[in-house]
Amino acid sequence: MRRLFNFFTAFAIAFLVSFTAATAYVNADEKQDELSFTTQEKSFISSHKSLKVGYVRDRVPVSFLNENGEEAGISHYIFERVSELCGMKFDLVPLPDGDVTYDYLLGEGFDLVTSVEYNDENKKARGILISNPYFSSRKVVVARENLEFRYDADWSVAVSTGSQTLKKVLAKTFPNFEIKDYDSISDCFDAVNSGDADLMIQNQYVVEYWLTKPKYEKLNVIPVVGLDDQLCFSAVVSFDGQEGPSQEDGQTLIDILDKSIAEITDDEIGNFTIQGVMENQYEYTFSDFLSRYRYSVLILAVSLLIILTLILLLSRQRIRFAESKADAKAKGRFLSTMSHEIRTPLNGLIGLNYLMSQKLEDKEKMEEYIKQSSVTAKYLLSLVNDILDTSKLEEQKLELVLKPVELELVIETVGSIERNAMAEKKLQYNVDYELTYPYVMGDEVRIQQVLLNLLDNARKFTHKGGIVNLSLKQELTNKNEVLTSVTVSDTGRGMSEEFQKHIFDVFAQELETVSKGNQGTGLGLSISRRLALLMGGDLTCVSQKGKGSSFTFTFVAKPAEKPLKAEEHSVILENNRPRVLVAEDNELNGEIIVELLKSNGFEVELAVNGSIALQMFNESDPNTFGVILMDLLMPEMDGFETAKAIRALDREDAKTVRIFACTANSFAEERDKAFASGMNDFITKPVNIEELIRKLCE
């Protein structure tokens, strides 16, 4: 049933992708005219209408030959788009298996080679010039299910003979690994599956394709921190007097390709990726069936084979039907949980709003209601943030913000946040740590987020009068990085062995804890573990029913120096109050931000859309405004267009005025687009007013 579902899903997605891709290409000719090719580049294009391009053929679904011997996969769609943009035809020629030498490429007259890894080794290689990446994804580790992967272990790694650059990267990144050569990617999978090699490292899309084969069902995928798979073109050029394309022609070709690649949008790459994956999913074959049920096939007579096949198909349909019902039930439970989680605080806010309208003259009551409203609103915000974090982690779009972190301050901060709530339950809170490396390069917000989640759970699930402990220890790895381990343990009710198997699943909740008043979204531990993995560590749990639980959070970071103190900012914060122009189309939001800033000593003017903001700035005297707070989604002219228009004005302060994006959209794409349009900073709504004032005054 699931494969039938996958088929219809693939069909639907392929249809949507085809429609989207067709729409994207409507103005292809116009885009090509817009590319700013130099006279030399245009001359090169005119004299090289066709290029001989070497094509890697064993990387399904990224780059391969289909059953008809035609080029296919994600890269194929990207190459068609690059060819369309630069105006040169790509004659794709499959490269031979194994290690392809420079002499072979030069002798066979190849102009370009595809699927070359974008790294320092290839940038410095003689005889090739590489372009900017045209496709990026992640590399992942493939290992047997019982292997506990560690970066500092002496693993044997299977690598295909055609992956010479990968060998160099592995030797540099993991010098303790033993590299073992195999003829092909399938041989590498077989080696890991049989135990001849401990693991292999390969592109995530290639791995997902191969692991759908039943023979590899006992292999696991493990994320690799900081090892991306960026693919680019390489131009083949001559050196040391050899005959062949000149360095100058090669560089011209690379410049043309870079300009064409830059024109391809992230949405187009996303469409190509979906289309390449969905059109080239591994098809479950009869040999796969025999491999999985080989003992049954040997026992049963040939005369019963057809009947057995029908019975098995019927059984599998029933299982898949049951699974689909279970999936629907899980989704329904999630929607019910989310509805409860959102409706409960919303009901509280509505009730408090009514009570405040009835008690306007009672100052003491009003202060109490406002305090309760603030707490409820912050809970709603944390719920939305959890859902967004889950989405970003699923799509691998969450990025860590690395800066020096004072770990002692982090521990004190999370303790101060939880200490009052623990005191109300008469819980004993103990902290024990020894900081060999008190400062590390990490994401302070995400480290604090994980620790708060663990302490909050320990408090919620520990009986009145119980104990919560937090301990921290550190050690230096053989890569001169700091492995920090934080354990949060409690004497609470603990968890069943069955639930511990699913404790880090998204939306996981034990029914017993929900029934006892501890209902939540089930997102916190899932997010925390994924964050730990993103930091090069892990989050593990040991628990015993009725005796408590212990969670250990580890992360890897480079040592850092103590950051410089900035007492001088206090003087700036007191004396520097720039005049602020607020561009906000929502009337209520505009009034609130204006009043908040005025109450903190700022002079403020409000523009109800981007067009008016541009007009007000252009008609003002130079240096009237020090900062512009720019909403991104506005009628007539959005924030991106307005920022570009202001930067383009012929006045000196157009280049120096600070422009802050102020938006409810917190995704990395919006942030990048804001900076690309000329903005200086990015502030998310709901606005943290203290943080905003600090940024305005700096």
CATH number of the domain to which 531 belongs: 3.30.565.10
Cα 508 from Cα 511, distance rounded (Å)? 9
Q: In the block, which residue shows the tokens 């103990």?
A: 430
Task: Mark whether 351 and 442 lie in a shared domain.
Answer: no
Average pLDDT of the segment spanning 67-83 = 88
Strand 482-490 vs strand 467-476: parallel, antiparallel, or unpaired? antiparallel
Note whether 101 and 51 are within 8 A (CB): no
Task: Mark whether 379 and 366 lie in a shared domain.
Answer: yes
- Residue 20 pLDDT exceeds 60: no
Task: Mark whether 486 and 599 lie in a shared domain.
Answer: no
Cα 372 from Cα 380, distance rounded (Å)? 13
Give, rounded to a whole angstrom, the gap between the first and last alpha carbons of the chain.
Answer: 59
Task: Mark whether 205 and 159 lie in a shared domain.
Answer: yes
Cα 419 from Cα 612, distance rounded (Å)? 49
CATH number of the domain to which 187 belongs: 3.40.190.10
pLDDT value, residue 161: 78
Has residue 599 been placed in a domain? yes
Task: State the amino acid at position 564 in one-letter form.
Answer: L
Query: Which helix (DSSP H) or strand (DSSP E) does residue 525 occupy?
Result: helix 524-534
Residues in Cβ contact with 349 at an 8 Å cutoff, skipping those fewer than 6 apart: 373, 376, 377, 380
pLDDT band, very low/low/confident/very high, at 449 (cuts 50, 70, 90): confident
Tens-place pLDDT, residues 619-633 = 999 999 999 999 988
Weakest mean pLDDT among 44-48, 53-57, 166-170, 660-664: 166-170
pLDDT value, residue 153: 86
Has residue 290 been placed in a domain? no
Task: State the DSSP string of 390-419.
Answer: HHHHHTT------EEEEHHHHHHHHHHHHH
Weakest mean pLDDT among 423-432, 517-526, 530-539, 545-554: 517-526
Q: What is the extent of the structural domain holding 673?
A: 568-697
Cα 188 from Cα 159, distance rounded (Å)? 6
Task: State the amino acid at position 492 in one-letter form.
Answer: G
Cα 540 from Cα 550, distance rounded (Å)? 8
Highest mean pLDDT among 81-90, 414-423, 587-596: 81-90
Tens-place pLDDT, residues 419-431 = 888 888 899 999 9
Highest mean pLDDT among 20-24, 94-98, 597-601: 597-601
Cα 358 from Cα 640, distance rounded (Å)? 43
Q: Which of 228, 246, 270 is where one domain is finished?
A: 228
Task: Mark whether 544 and 653 lie in a shared domain.
Answer: no
Task: State the DSSP string of 327-376.
Answer: HHHHHHHHHHHHHHHHHHHHHHHHHHHHHHHH-TT-HHHHHHHHHHHHHH
Tens-place pLDDT, residues 112-151 = 998 888 888 888 888 889 999 999 888 889 998 888 888 7
Return the structure tokens found at 580.
């602020």
SS3 category, 663: strand
Whether a cis peptide bond, with omega within 30° of 0, leads into 133 is: no
Has residue 285 been placed in a domain? no
Cα 473 from Cα 85, distance rounded (Å)? 55
Rounded to the nearest 10°, the torsion over CA 143, 144, 149, 152 is -70
Q: How far is CA 241 from CA 104, 105, 247, 470, in A?
A: 17, 16, 11, 67
Tens-place pLDDT, residues 450-508 = 898 899 889 988 989 999 999 999 999 988 999 999 999 999 988 888 888 878 876 55
- Residue 11 pLDDT exceeds 60: no
Cα 82 from Cα 298, distance rounded (Å)? 52
Average pLDDT of the segment spanning 510-531 = 62
* Residue 634: CB atoms within 10 Å: 23
Query: What mean pLDDT is reported for the chain?
Result: 79
Task: Mark whether 375 and 258 lie in a shared domain.
Answer: no
- Residue 19 pLDDT exceeds 70: no
Tens-place pLDDT, residues 79-123 = 999 999 999 999 999 888 777 888 888 888 999 998 888 888 888
Has residue 288 been placed in a domain? no
Please compute, for residue 596, the number of CA atoms within 13 A of its CA located in the half-sphere on the CB side.
Answer: 16
Average pLDDT of the segment spanning 205-214 = 86
Task: State the amino acid at position 290 in one-letter form.
Answer: L
Has residue 289 been placed in a domain? no
Q: In the block, which residue shows the tokens 């029913």?
A: 545
Note whether 260 and 65 are within 8 A (CB): no
pLDDT value, residue 393: 62
Has residue 286 been placed in a domain? no
CATH number of the domain to which 618 belongs: 3.40.50.2300
Percent of the chain, pLDDT > 90?
31
The total number of structural domains in the chain stands at 6
pLDDT band, very low/low/confident/very high, at 265 (cuts 50, 70, 90): very high
Q: In the block, which residue shows the tokens 């009237």?
A: 624
Note whether 412 and 546 are within 8 A (CB): no
pLDDT value, residue 160: 86
Q: In the block, which residue shows the tokens 């996303």?
A: 270
Q: Exposure pattern of 173-195 as b/e (b: 16+ CB <10 Å)?
A: ebeebebeebeebebbbbbbbee
Rounded to the nearest 10°, the torsion over CA 279, 280, 284, 285 is 110
Q: Give ∠ CA 424-429-435 in degrees, rounded to 5.
A: 145
Has residue 284 been placed in a domain? no
Q: Which of 533, 557, 581 is where one domain is finished?
A: 557
Tens-place pLDDT, residues 291-333 = 555 544 455 555 455 555 555 655 666 666 555 655 555 555 5
Query: Which helix (DSSP H) or strand (DSSP E) does residue 158 occupy?
Result: strand 156-160
pLDDT value, residue 25: 39
Task: Mark whether 124 and 141 lie in a shared domain.
Answer: no
Task: Mark whether 418 and 524 lie in a shared domain.
Answer: yes
Whether a cis peptide bond, with omega within 30° of 0, leads into 578 is: no
Cα 638 from Cα 643, distance rounded (Å)? 9
Q: Which of 505, 533, 557 is where one domain is finished?
A: 557
SS3 category, 166: helix
Task: Mark whether 442 and 453 lie in a shared domain.
Answer: yes
Task: Mark whether 126 and 240 lie in a shared domain.
Answer: yes
Q: Give ∠ CA 161-165-166 in degrees, rounded to 5.
A: 75
Residues in Cβ contact with 584 at an 8 Å cutoff, skipping those fewer than 6 apart: 590, 593, 606, 607, 608, 629, 631, 634, 662
Tens-place pLDDT, residues 628-673 = 999 988 888 999 999 999 999 999 899 999 999 988 776 667 888 8
Cα 276 from Cα 131, distance rounded (Å)? 22
Q: How far is CA 247 from CA 116, 127, 231, 261, in A?
A: 18, 9, 21, 21
Task: Mark whether 131 and 247 lie in a shared domain.
Answer: yes
The number of residues making up the chain comes to: 698
**Which of the pair, 574 or 611, is modelled with greater confidence?**
611
Has residue 178 been placed in a domain? yes
Highest mean pLDDT among 18-22, 244-248, 344-348, 575-579: 244-248
Please compute, for residue 137, the number of CA atoms within 13 A of its CA located in the half-sphere on the CB side.
Answer: 20
Q: Give ∠ CA 19-49-98 in degrees, rounded to 5.
A: 80
pLDDT value, residue 546: 85
- Does this model's pTM top 0.75? My answer is no
Tens-place pLDDT, residues 339-398 = 555 655 666 667 667 677 777 777 787 777 777 676 666 656 666 666 666 666 665 667
Task: Mark whether 449 and 553 lie in a shared domain.
Answer: yes
Tens-place pLDDT, residues 175-207 = 899 999 998 888 999 999 999 999 998 888 888
